[in-house]
Chains A and B, each alone.
Chain A
């Protein structure tokens, strides 16, 4: 009985060791890929091997321009929802005109960057993994290597540069749409005067709020592109793996985005 029990514990322990080894292998793989991407995107151009701008433009359109509508819609609705939710509480305290301030701070500091990143993790992160994963399965990435072209420089670097520029841009627009949503509900349904709404908002919101939001969205951009690319590059075998890894990429990047958000929020809470 005891032997069986210890055997069970031993097996569990062994399995835990195996899975934790796998975990650290993935982390170090992700680290090396990220380092190589930074090298290709920032260091190599200084040595006279610039990243070609054509693919970067294409990716910018793909990542940024084509995502504006969905980002606008989501952030506008978030602004509307926030206004309604806070109004319900604030009205009980007779502080209805502070809705604007609350919506403004919540959207610029937190919900704008976070919702944009989550939407993009689903929309863009998934397409990165699926597209490059299909290339990996079809030997196209091996073909690049054999043609003496670095796949990291050729495939990941343009996507990396594009998203690192476009995600903060989208975040600014999402902030604006969120504020607009809150404002429209505030002045129409809730019946707050536009002037105190705007005055209160501007009193409470600092430039710092927007900037910390943008710093976060830059970090989220790195997470989305690196997790998406890594999950594509480790695919071995058939197309079934492409589906699995696309799913994993979205799940992992969403979790990492939330974790990074927590870390940065804590940091900004104490530092600024």
Chain B
């Protein structure tokens, strides 16, 4: 369904150049949940932003449903974008609109459905996420978990083939995480939606995903089923799973030598 081939991306210029993604290859299967995991700064959000066309790579290709998207112009990309939905980390609901208008927005803009049909569809989507009855609330009146569920209802408004989840469980309590996990499983199993989940919530990734890809410094260090990841003997994976502060993934994020940097400090 989605294939990433030799994806490379660097940020910054000159001495500040940092390779965020380094020759990445990955494959996301149709109808399955694939989790992309890794610590902060491992490049997992960057992968997601490439998949939705927000970033252009330095080199490499991305195929979504057989179409190469990295060289598309805005209009072609918009056609591809209608095939997928995305759940942002913050929800990214429009604060000036009610819940109903938020969920109805993609339908009103991209389909010719009449208003009564749209309102019925909105009700169906809200029922799927278990929040029927909130139509007239504003996003500011909702809790964090409810925001995510409404955002998910909006993401699936046009019945997409693919849904991207950016940190779906960040900042939620365990029960809300369980709810979002259940929704993701339902969507994938019952409706055959291909899911790509970017997360660092280990327990939920192990619970719901069919395949886990683990990133470190823009490279894939492990890839496989949750069982394989759990029993991996790669020290970096072991460190991530056990949440150890120091190990092969260093505690200090500094690029330069501590002593050298102290010596080079100047004071006027």
Name A's B-contacting residues (CB within 8 A).
134-135, 138-140, 142-143, 145-150
Q: Are A149 and B90 in contact (CB under 8 A)?
A: no
Q: Which of B104-127 contact A (CB under 8 A)?
A: 105-106, 109-110
Least CB distance from A175 to B in Å reads 33
Which bracket fits the contact residues of B?
Answer: 20 to 34
A-B complex: 9 closest residue pairs judged by Cβ atoms: A148-B78, A143-B92, A148-B81, A139-B92, A139-B88, A140-B92, A146-B52, A146-B86, A147-B106
Q: Are B109 and A149 in contact (CB under 8 A)?
A: yes
Q: Are B90 and A146 in contact (CB under 8 A)?
A: no
Least CB distance from B25 to A in Å reads 24
Interface centre among B78, B82, B106 (most CB of A within 10 A): B78
- 10 pairs of residues in contact across A and B, judged by CB atoms under 8 Å: A135-B95, A138-B90, A139-B90, A142-B88, A143-B86, A146-B81, A147-B106, A149-B105, A149-B106, A149-B109
Residues of chain B within 8 A (CB-CB) of A148 are 77-79, 81-82, 110
Q: Which residue of A lies closest to B87 (CB)?
A: A143
Least CB distance from A23 to B in Å reads 19
Residues 54-70 of chain B, each 1 if its beta carbon lies under 8 Å from chain A, else 0 = 10000000000000000
Cβ of B94 < 8 Å from any Cβ of A? yes
Q: Are B92 and A142 in contact (CB under 8 A)?
A: yes
Least CB distance from A18 to B in Å reads 13
Q: Which residue of B lies closest to A58 (CB)?
A: B96
Residues of chain A within 8 A (CB-CB) of B106 are 147, 149
Residues of chain B within 8 A (CB-CB) of A145 are 54, 81
Once the chains are docked, how many angstroms separate the CA of A263 from the CA of B249? 61
Residues 76-104 of chain B, each 1 if its beta carbon lies under 8 Å from chain A, else 0 = 01110110001011101111000000000
Once the chains are docked, how many angstroms separate the CA of A229 from the CA of B36? 35
A-B contacts, CB under 8 A, total: 42
Q: Are A146 and B105 in contact (CB under 8 A)?
A: no
Least CB distance from B78 to A in Å reads 4
Least CB distance from A81 to B in Å reads 39
Residues of chain A within 8 A (CB-CB) of B88 are 139, 142-143
Q: Are B78 and A138 in contact (CB under 8 A)?
A: no
Once the chains are docked, how many angstroms separate the CA of A270 from the CA of B77? 50
Given A135-B95, A140-B94, A148-B81, list of 15 further CB < 8 A pairs? A138-B90, A138-B95, A139-B88, A139-B92, A140-B93, A142-B88, A142-B92, A143-B88, A145-B54, A146-B52, A147-B105, A147-B106, A149-B105, A149-B109, A150-B74
Least CB distance from A111 to B in Å reads 35
Residues of chain A within 8 A (CB-CB) of B82 are 148
Across the interface, B54 reaches (CB within 8 A) one of A138, A146, A149, namely A146
Once the chains are docked, how many angstroms separate the CA of A156 from the CA of B90? 23
Once the chains are docked, how many angstroms separate the CA of A134 from the CA of B77? 26
Once the chains are docked, how many angstroms separate the CA of A149 from the CA of B89? 20
Residues of chain A within 8 A (CB-CB) of B86 are 143, 146
Interface centre among B78, B92, B93, B110 (most CB of A within 10 A): B92
Q: Are A147 and B81 in contact (CB under 8 A)?
A: yes
Q: Which residue of A lies closest to B82 (CB)?
A: A148
Least CB distance from A61 to B in Å reads 14
Once the chains are docked, how many angstroms separate the CA of A266 from the CA of B89? 53
Residues of chain A within 8 A (CB-CB) of B93 are 140
Q: Which residue of B lies closest to A142 (CB)?
A: B54
Once the chains are docked, how many angstroms separate the CA of A134 from the CA of B82? 25
Least CB distance from A48 to B in Å reads 13
Residues of chain A within 8 A (CB-CB) of B78 are 148
Q: Which of B201-251 contact A (CB under 8 A)?
A: none
Q: Which residue of A lies closest to B49 (CB)?
A: A142
Residues 109-149 of chain B, each 1 if its beta carbon lies under 8 Å from chain A, else 0 = 11000000000000000000000000000000000000000
